Amino acid sequence: MNYQSVLERIAQDVSPQLGTGRPAEYIPALAAVDPGHFGMAIADVDGKVYGVGDWQRPFSTQSITKVFTLALVLAAGGDDLWEHVGREPSGNPFNSLVQLEYENGIPRNPFINAGALVVTDRLQTLTGDASSELLGFLREESGNPDLAFDQEVADSESAHGDRNAALAHFMASYGNITNPVPTLLDHYFWQCAIEMSCADLALAARFLARHGLRADGSRLLTRSEAKQINAVMLTCGTYDAAGEFAHRVGLPGKSGVGGGIVAVVPGRCTLCVWSPGLDERGNSVAGVAALDRFTTLTGLSVF
């Protein structure tokens, strides 16, 4: 398949939507990003990368990193993680407090903020330095040793992180957080502040298309664990719009409020698209449209 020509067609088709939506205004460092940016990359299972637009321009990964943190915890033998976080769609905003009280401090899934805090807490316990462990993994899988945290974004997240602090303290009151909350929040904010390009993310996520195999051919996850992550991405990866995303795109995907979305075609390739203009649910307007066009033009989906 000629992925390059597909990408060029997609860029042309979605160009009228560039600049629509609004960047994440509640994080000042993200609010200043031009919503007219657009980049998209595809990495096949052998590591060949195709791209269009701003596909090599770094952006704030935000919640996309939750996929990789989850993978690292499962790879470390953390199957009991599922006793502390569910695998069901939330149906509520990604930073909702309401559901936690009804469900005794157990988050619905690992991709809403509360669930991601539980996963990061577990990675901190396993490694002693969750954010550095994650950054090292992403550097290795992307092949880019220059990946780094964005200090401005991390500081911005921390200064406006009261809701995440409330989520963490609430879960700690139920015994579902084991590390000190300030330590956990530091690592969580650093995790969300990693900058990567579409090319970096498409390459880093290839283990999900390779049924758990890392870039060097070693096994990170069992086939079953890779399937589990892809399944949760499909049902929970785009906040409370996951059903619509599955309907339109038909691929496991994980979005972030930096405007990026990673998607997986098991056995074939991984994709990353970036455009900072978000819809009301926190997903990139042009990004979702681009992935919709990809599955339409190629016929590739999990259905």
SS percent in the chain: helix, strand, coil, step 5:
50, 15, 35
Tell me the one-letter amino acid at 271: L
Angle at which helix 181-192 crosses helix 130-142, to 10 degrees, equals: 20
Nearest one of 62, 68, 189, 72 to 125, comparing CA atoms: 72
Catalytic machinery residues: 63, 66, 188, 239, 257
Which residue carries 């005794």 as its tokens? Answer: 104
CA–CA dist 303, 289 (Å, integer): 18
| Residue 53: strand, helix, or coil | strand
In whole angstroms, what is the distance from residue 227 CA to residue 74 CA? 12
